[in-house]
A and B are shown apart, each in its own frame.
Chain A
Amino acid sequence: MSSIYICHFLLFFSVLCAAFSVNFGDDTTDSYWLLRTKSEFVDPVGVLDNWSPRTSLCTWYGVTCSDDQTHVMGLNLSGSGLSGAISPEFSRLTSLQTFDLSSNFLSGLIPPELGQLQNLRELLLYSNSLSSNVPAEIGLLKNLQVLRIGDNMLTGQVNANVGNLTELRVLGLAYCQLNGSIPAEIGNLKHLQSLDLQKNSLSGLIPQEISGCIELQNFAASNNRLEGRIPASIGKLESLQILNLANNSLSGSIPIELGFLSNLKYLNLAGNRLNGEIPSELNQLVQLERLDLSKNSLSGTINIVNTHLKNIEVLVLSDNSLTGSTPRDLCIPNSSLHQLFLARNNLSGNFPLGLLNCSWLQELDLSDNNFVGVLPSGLDKLENLTDLLLNNNSFSGTIPLEIGNMSNLMTFYLFGNMITGRSIPVEIGKLQRLSVLYLYDNQISGTIPRELTNCSSLTAIDFFGNHLKGSIPATIGKLKNLVFLLLRQNELSGSIPPSLGYCTKLQNLVLADNRLSGTLPPTFRFLSELFLITLYNNSFEGPLPESISLLKNLSIINFSHNRFSGSVFPLSGSNSLSRLDLTNNSFSGPIPSELAMSRNLTRLRLAYNFLNGPIPPELGKLTELNFLDLSFNNFTGELAPELSNCRKLGHLLLKNNRFSGTVPPWLGSLRELGELDLSYNIFNGTVPTELGNCSRLLKLSLDSNYLSGDIPPELGNLNSLNVLNLQRNNLSGSIPLTFQQCKKLYELRLSQNLLNGSIPPGLGTLSELQVILDLSENLLSGEIPWSLGNVVKLERLNLSFNQLTGEIPQSLGKLSSLHRLNLSNNHLHGQLPPTFSGFPLSSFLGNEKLCGPPLIPCSESKGQERKWLSNTAVAWIIVAIVFTSTMICLVLIYIMLRIWCTWRKISISSSDNEDLGNNRGEEKWDFEDEVRNCDDWNMNTMALVPSQDKQIFAFSCSK
């Protein structure tokens, strides 16, 4: 009963549905389902506009109908600009045999329902943005012959049931993010002709079952993470034409079985970890056109021979460890070899003459090997050569004149060899296509031939580091395409030809390190593309042409070490400057404030000129400025507070000018400062305490100014400091105790000031002091601290011209690194440490009471007669002193007891301890008085170094 009801209800419902969906057509027809899938697409171009119930299904865009016009057999919407998703309802098109949605912008999943399309033969979804896994249901498509779903964002593993698709001819899964390994079941695909797995993240081994794909013609699995050996079973794939396993992590040797692949045309194993020799069996691959084994660890000699590989066009063996010479028969006459790359191996021997047979060769790269000998004159047999790369070998001799016949040559690298010769051959001027000519790092002498300027295609010339003489050809302006001209480090002379200004595409002009002279030609104003110009270490002179200010693209300028004069102003026209170096010229006048327009300026070096005036406050806008060197000029005035905005300053070098005023406290806000040199100016006032905030400071030089007051203890916070130089000022007070925190100091100069007090013993903890410790010409008094003997790396010590007293601590004798010492002109006395005997007399002069080598022996001094007191006499004296002291103590204790007793009688409330303390003090004082009778007797030293100090004690007591 109820079932009848349900049947009735269903019938009614379906009629209702049909009625509602009348405009979609009958739900059993393909047109109905196609219209439903249409709603999932986004169709901005409108290709699906004619998909409408009003037109016949078979006229719809992309649809191929069955003969009876009722079913969709094929659907091709490739490259139709569609986005949106693939509707699961495509699965209703049960007659579908080919389904092509490739090259659209579809996203979302591949609907698992597509597994129901049992008639499907071709499924093409490649080049979309489909994501997630490949549905396992695809494995149900028993009739599938072509499956191409690569170039999507598919993830997950390659499902093993792909092995069920036994009719498959083409499997394309490249350019996705598939991981896991290649399933062994792939070997079930007996009819597979093309397997493309490139550019995924597949790992693991290549399954040896791959040999089951006996019809395979194309196997590409490059750019994955495949590892292990290449299975020898690949050799069974007799139909294979293309084998590409490049850029994986395959290891072991190349299996000799690859030699059985008699149909192979393309073999690429580059970028793996293959080792061993190249198997000679590869010579059996008579069909081979392209062979790339580069970027492996292959060793041994090259045994690929053209006599067998008659069809080879491209041979790439670069970046291995191949040795020996190249085989004579690498090339046969009329060889089809177009490209031969052998770079970055350890090949040796002469230039391989056999190569000259390869008359079709277009690109030849032998760079970075150990080839020697001269270049063959028959090089011009390679008349089709466009790129000849011979750099970084040991070729010698001259450039063969025949180079002029290689009329197709575009790129010629010969740099890093030992090419000599009296000049570059004039024949090179015949090369109308030559674009790049790199001859740098050779020993070519002679002149640059004028004919070179006939090479009208030249874009880049680099002759750096040769011995070229003479002048730059006057006709250089003919090279209208020149972008790079690098002639650095030659012996070129004369002036820059004005025609150079007509090389209007020039970007980099490097003429540094030559003997060029004269002025810059005004034609430079046409070099509007110029980005970098370096002319340093020449003899250029005269003022800069004002029109240079028209060059708005100038970024890097280095004119240092020339004799340019006049104003810097013409260089301030570009607001793209990043580095400007004019060190050591004769420029005069002020710094143009227009330089501040170049907000990216990082380095400004104007040292050793005759520039004057103040630093323009506008430079404070240069917030990227890292290096400012204005040393050795005639600058005046105070440092503008605006400069404190240059927060990235790492080097501020202003030495040898006439800057005045105080050292500004804002310097302490430059936290990047590593080097600050204000020496040789007329700064006055105190050293600002804020400098202690520059925690990255390595070198601080404030010497030779008029600074006064105390040295701020805050400088002790500079715990990175290597060099501190405050000498030649009027600094007073004592040396801050905090200096002992500057543990990385290797150079400390405080000489020629008014410093007083004693030398802080803490300086002895600066164990890295090495270059010098110079405290000379101050008012320092007291003794030299014993601890200075710990500065064992110190090489120079100057304490001269102070008021130091006492003896030289024996510890200084342990300063084994010391080789300059000056203790002269103090009030030191006593015997020099024995190790000081090697220093000159001048190290100790002006200390009247010093003795011992190199000074007069201590035995000849006034204390001579008592110097040799016997040990018993010394013992007696000590006993006498101890005895006397004990007696005095006893007397004192007796007196004390008497007083205490008296007090006790008077007042019981007195404090016992206090009195005892006081009396102890007196006792000590008395004892010291006693000692002072014998001048400068130092109990401590005697106690520490008994044997020698006995003598000193005797000597000093004798005065």
Chain B
Amino acid sequence: MASPSLFSFFLLPILLSLSPTLSTNSEGNALHSLRSRLSDPTNILQSWDPTLVNPCTWFHVTCDSNNHVVRLDLANSNISGSLGPELGELKHLQYLELYRNNFGGKIPMELGNLKNLISMDLYANRFEGKIPKSFAKLKSLRFLRLNDNKLTGSIPRELTTLSNLKVFDVSNNDLCGTIPVDGPFGSFPMESYENNRLSGPELKGLVPYDFGC
């Protein structure tokens, strides 16, 4: 039983000493909680010290002049584990480079909160589940590479509103339905869709886009 003495003499000093770091530095906390989900066999996250004022001096993290995280480079590092909602806290992130690892689980919909994201490279991992519809909020996104994963479901039609999208690659997944033709999707090569269960370009009004899903 949490006796009063235990509470006030043991727990309190701990809370007391933690409090200064608990609620400051939201981007550092977000990255630190990401780290706690990951297995990092090559120890590339060793420098991620949560007691620093911000994460700007951590390796594989790049900040702008206002100490906001703009790049996260964890590619090619044998990392496994899943992403969590906390990544959505990195409001200033422009480059999310997590390709060629063993990341698994679902892509959190909170990644749709990364309003400044230019490039999201999640290719060559083990991500599963659907492509989040929330990606339609990524109005700055130019490059979206999700190829070589285990993604299922259809290509969300909401993504056709991403007017800046230049590169879209979902090849080698397990997607179904038809391929959008609106917006930037008019210009992506067919190689971007290879090796899925996709059934050709959308025929509007004839079949629903997620036909066969």
Cα A484 to Cα B19 in complex, Å, equals: 10
Per-residue contact bits, chain B 97-124, to A (CB 8 Å; 1 contact, 0 not) = 1000000000000000000000101000
Cα A106 to Cα B161 in complex, Å, equals: 79
Which of A316, A462, A464, A816 has the most CB atoms of chain B within a 10 A radius of its CB? A816
Cα A816 to Cα B75 in complex, Å, equals: 21
Contact B47 A411 (CB under 8 A): no
A462 with B1: in contact, given A651-B57, A698-B59 (CB under 8 Å)?
no
B211 on the A face (CB < 8 A): no
In chain A, positions 520-561 with a C-beta closer than 8 Å to chain B are: 534, 536, 558
Contact B20 A746 (CB under 8 A): no
Contact A488 B16 (CB under 8 A): no
Main secondary structure of the interface of B (DSSP, over half): mixed
Output the least CB separation between B182 and chain A (Å). Answer: 19
Cα A675 to Cα B59 in complex, Å, equals: 9
B76: which A residues are within 8 A, CB to CB? 743-744, 768
Per-residue contact bits, chain B 44-57, to A (CB 8 Å; 1 contact, 0 not) = 00010000010001
Contact A440 B23 (CB under 8 A): yes
Please, which residue of chain B has its CB at the minimum distance from the CB of A314?
Answer: B1
Complex partner residue of B12 from A411, A440, A484, A650, CB under 8 angstroms: A411
A686 on the B face (CB < 8 A): no
Output the least CB separation between A453 and chain B (Å). Answer: 20
Output the least CB separation between A201 and chain B (Å). Answer: 22
Contact B75 A744 (CB under 8 A): yes
In chain B, positions 53-94 with a C-beta closer than 8 Å to chain A are: 53, 57, 59-60, 73, 75-76
A460 on the B face (CB < 8 A): yes
A581: which B residues are within 8 A, CB to CB? 53
Contact A817 B23 (CB under 8 A): no
B14 on the A face (CB < 8 A): no
Cα A246 to Cα B1 in complex, Å, equals: 8
Contact A486 B23 (CB under 8 A): no
Cα A462 to Cα B75 in complex, Å, equals: 39
Output the least CB separation between A486 and chain B (Å). Answer: 5
B24 on the A face (CB < 8 A): yes
B16: which A residues are within 8 A, CB to CB? 436, 460, 484
Which of B2, B53, B59 has the most CB atoms of chain A within a 10 A radius of its CB? B2
Cα A627 to Cα B58 in complex, Å, equals: 11
Contact A674 B47 (CB under 8 A): yes
Contact A316 B12 (CB under 8 A): no
Cα A411 to Cα B4 in complex, Å, equals: 12
In chain A, positions 425-467 with a C-beta closer than 8 Å to chain B are: 436, 438, 440-441, 460, 462, 464-465
Cα A8 to Cα B4 in complex, Å, equals: 74
Cα A462 to Cα B17 in complex, Å, equals: 11
A793 on the B face (CB < 8 A): yes
Please, how many residues of chain A have a CB less than 8 angstroms from a CB on the other chain?
55
B195 on the A face (CB < 8 A): no
B12: which A residues are within 8 A, CB to CB? 411, 436
Main secondary structure of the interface of A (DSSP, over half): loop
Contact A558 B57 (CB under 8 A): no
A268 with B166: in contact, given A441-B23, A651-B57 (CB under 8 Å)?
no
A462 with B19: in contact, given A341-B2, A650-B47, A816-B167 (CB under 8 Å)?
yes
Cα A415 to Cα B19 in complex, Å, equals: 10
Complex partner residue of B8 from A318, A411, A438, A464, CB under 8 angstroms: A411
Please, which residue of chain B has its CB at the minimum distance from the CB of A316?
Answer: B2
A124 on the B face (CB < 8 A): no
B121: which A residues are within 8 A, CB to CB? 793
In chain A, positions 289-338 with a C-beta closer than 8 Å to chain B are: 290, 292, 294, 314, 316, 318, 338
A800 on the B face (CB < 8 A): no
Contact B2 A294 (CB under 8 A): yes
Please, which residue of chain A has its CB at the minimum distance from the CB of B42?
Answer: A720
Please, which residue of chain B has its CB at the minimum distance from the CB of A244?
Answer: B1
A422 on the B face (CB < 8 A): no
Contact B166 A387 (CB under 8 A): no
Cα A363 to Cα B6 in complex, Å, equals: 12
Per-residue contact bits, chain A 467-494, to B (CB 8 Å; 1 contact, 0 not) = 0000000000000000010101100000
B142 on the A face (CB < 8 A): yes
Please, which residue of chain A has its CB at the minimum distance from the CB of B143?
Answer: A817
Contact A464 B7 (CB under 8 A): no
Complex partner residue of A488 from B24, B59, B167, CB under 8 angstroms: B24
Please, which residue of chain B has its CB at the minimum distance from the CB of A410?
Answer: B8
Contact B53 A536 (CB under 8 A): yes
A508 with B20: in contact, given A627-B57, A651-B57 (CB under 8 Å)?
yes
Output the least CB separation between A790 and chain B (Å). Answer: 14
Output the least CB separation between B168 and chain A (Å). Answer: 10
In chain A, positions 112-154 with a C-beta closer than 8 Å to chain B are: none
Cα A411 to Cα B73 in complex, Å, equals: 43
Cα A415 to Cα B1 in complex, Å, equals: 25
Contact B59 A650 (CB under 8 A): yes
Which of A268, A270, A338, A440 has the most CB atoms of chain B within a 10 A radius of its CB? A440
Contact B19 A486 (CB under 8 A): yes
Cα A257 to Cα B1 in complex, Å, equals: 22
Output the least CB separation between A487 and chain B (Å). Answer: 11
Complex partner residue of A510 from B20, B60, B75, B97, CB under 8 angstroms: B20
Contact A817 B167 (CB under 8 A): yes
Output the least CB separation between B95 and chain A (Å). Answer: 8
Per-residue contact bits, chain A 499-523, to B (CB 8 Å; 1 contact, 0 not) = 0000000001010100000000000
Output the least CB separation between B146 and chain A (Å). Answer: 14
Complex partner residue of A819 from B8, B20, B47, B166, CB under 8 angstroms: B166
A489: which B residues are within 8 A, CB to CB? 24
A722 on the B face (CB < 8 A): yes
B119: which A residues are within 8 A, CB to CB? 770
Per-residue contact bits, chain B 124-168, to A (CB 8 Å; 1 contact, 0 not) = 000000000000000000110000000000000000000000110
Contact A486 B1 (CB under 8 A): no
Cα A744 to Cα B166 in complex, Å, equals: 23
Cα A440 to Cα B60 in complex, Å, equals: 31
Contact A793 B143 (CB under 8 A): yes
A246: which B residues are within 8 A, CB to CB? 1
Complex partner residue of A339 from B4, B20, B23, B143, CB under 8 angstroms: B4
Cα A416 to Cα B24 in complex, Å, equals: 12
Output the least CB separation between A309 and chain B (Å). Answer: 15
Please, which residue of chain A has its CB at the minimum distance from the CB of B1?
Answer: A292
Contact B4 A462 (CB under 8 A): no
Output the least CB separation between A24 and chain B (Å). Answer: 51
Contact B7 A387 (CB under 8 A): yes
Contact B59 A318 (CB under 8 A): no
A464 with B23: in contact, given A290-B1, A817-B143, A819-B142 (CB under 8 Å)?
yes
Output the least CB separation between B20 and chain A (Å). Answer: 5
Output the least CB separation between B27 and chain A (Å). Answer: 14
A339: which B residues are within 8 A, CB to CB? 2, 4
Output the least CB separation between B30 and chain A (Å). Answer: 16
B4: which A residues are within 8 A, CB to CB? 338-339, 362-363, 387
Cα A783 to Cα B158 in complex, Å, equals: 43
B7: which A residues are within 8 A, CB to CB? 363, 387
Output the least CB separation between B57 and chain A (Å). Answer: 6
Contact A270 B1 (CB under 8 A): yes
B20: which A residues are within 8 A, CB to CB? 462, 464, 484, 486, 488, 508, 510
User: Which 7 residue pairs across A and B have the least CB separation, nearest first?
Assistant: A292-B1, A441-B23, A674-B59, A816-B167, A462-B19, A486-B20, A460-B16
Could you show 7 A-B contacts with beta carbons less than 8 Å apart? A318-B2, A339-B2, A411-B8, A415-B23, A416-B23, A488-B24, A816-B166
Using a CB–CB cutoff of 8 Å, the interface residues on chain A facing chain B are 246, 268, 270, 290, 292, 294, 314, 316, 318, 338-339, 341, 362-363, 386-387, 410-411, 415-416, 436, 438, 440-441, 460, 462, 464-465, 484, 486, 488-489, 508, 510, 512, 534, 536, 558, 581, 627, 650-651, 674-675, 698, 722, 743-744, 746, 768, 770, 793, 816-817, 819
Q: What would 19 more interface pairs be, CB under 8 Å, given A512-B53, A746-B73, A816-B166?
A: A270-B1, A290-B1, A362-B4, A387-B7, A410-B8, A411-B12, A415-B19, A416-B23, A438-B19, A462-B19, A484-B20, A510-B20, A650-B59, A651-B57, A698-B60, A744-B75, A770-B119, A793-B121, A817-B167
